[in-house]
Amino acid sequence: MIVEFANSVWRKFRKTFGKDEYFIFWTSLLFYFLLFFNLNNKTLAIFFALLVFVLFTKFKNLKEALFWGFVISFPITVGKTYLVELIPADQLYTPDNPEGYFLKLVISQGDIIALFMLPLLVRNLFLLWRRRELAFDNILIFLFFLIILVLSSTLNSQNLPVSSFFFLKFLTLPLIFLYSRYLIDWSPKRKDVLLSILLSQVVFEGFFVFLQFAHGGPLGHSLESMTRIVPFGRGTDEDVWRFRPTGTFDHANMVAAFLLPTVILNFAIFYRQKKEGLDYFLLPLIIGMLTLAITLSRSAWGSFLLGIIILTYILEKKYRLRLEEFYRKRFVLIIIFAFLTIPFFIGPRVLSTFNTFVSGGSLVTRVDLIKEALELLHQNPFLGVGLGMSVPEMFKNNPHGMMYFFPSPVHNWYLYFASEVGIFALLAFLFLLYFSFKRLFQRRLVDVFSIGAFVAILVMLFNGILQPFLGNEELLYIFLGMFVAQNKLHD
| Tens of pLDDT, residues 420-449 | 999 999 999 999 999 999 999 887 667 889
Given a contact cutoff of 8 angstroms between Cβ atoms, the answer to whether 49 and 81 are in contact is no
Per-residue CA distances from 108 to 76, 168, 249, 363 (Å): 8, 12, 12, 34
**Pairwise CA distance, residues 17 & 2, whole Å:** 22
Confidence (pLDDT) at 134: 86
**Pairwise CA distance, residues 379 & 399, whole Å:** 16
Asked whether residue 331 carries a pLDDT value surpassing 70, the answer given is no
pTM for this prediction: 0.91
Confidence (pLDDT) at 20: 78
Confidence (pLDDT) at 168: 97
| Residue that wins the pLDDT comparison between 240 and 183 | 183
Given a contact cutoff of 8 angstroms between Cβ atoms, the answer to whether 320 and 271 are in contact is no
The one-letter amino acid code at 415 reads L
Helix-strand-coil split of the chain, %, nearest 5: 70, 5, 30
Range list of H helices, 171-234 = 172-182, 188-215
**Pairwise CA distance, residues 11 & 3, whole Å:** 12
pLDDT tens sequence across 164-173: 999 999 999 9
- In percent, the amount of the chain with pLDDT more than 90 equals 61
Closest by CA position to 262, among listed 171, 181, 201: 201
Closest by CA position to 435, among listed 135, 136, 134, 138: 138
